[in-house]
Amino acid sequence: MSTVQASHLLIKHQGSRRPASWKDETGEQIRKRTKEDARAILLKHREEIMGSPNPAKKFGELARVHSDCSSARDNGDLGPFGRGQMQKQFEDAAFALKVGEISDVVDSDSGLHIILRTA
């Protein structure tokens, strides 16, 4: 497979390479958030997604509101991408998922993610 398509929900923390987002342009809140706090937030979102009758829909709803990535406006959709286009940890996790699967928490330089493979 040369490309995959995925959505993600990113929670940044004080160790993120760019500790600011569309929700927190100055990074004031992100700089206060520990990696452990970010992990707890993501695990709560993942639990809500997995308990939903329509996990993909719930994923998009939560990503739109809570993700620190600008892809939030598209329910977390990153579009199709190939090898070498994303950070390695993120890319490896996305390519390892089957279509419709949701990852555990993935740690990258950008922050912590959960990923939904969509194609």
Are 114 and 102 in contact by the 8 Å Cβ rule? The answer is yes
- 96, 105, 5: which is closest to 47 by C-alpha? 105
> Which tens digits make up the pLDDT trace of 45-75?
999 999 999 999 999 999 999 999 999 999 9
Pairing of strands 77-82, 111-117: unpaired
Q: Mean pLDDT in the chain?
A: 97
pLDDT of residue 51: 97
CA separation for the pair 113, 103 (Å, rounded): 9
Give 10-residue mean pLDDT values along the chain (119 residues).
94 96 96 98 98 97 98 97 95 97 97 98
Residues marked active site are found at: 8, 69, 87, 110, 113
Are 66 and 45 in contact by the 8 Å Cβ rule? The answer is yes
pLDDT of residue 22: 95
C-alpha distances in Å from residue 59, one per residue of 52, 74, 76, 106: 9, 11, 8, 15
CA separation for the pair 11, 32 (Å, rounded): 12
pLDDT of residue 59: 98
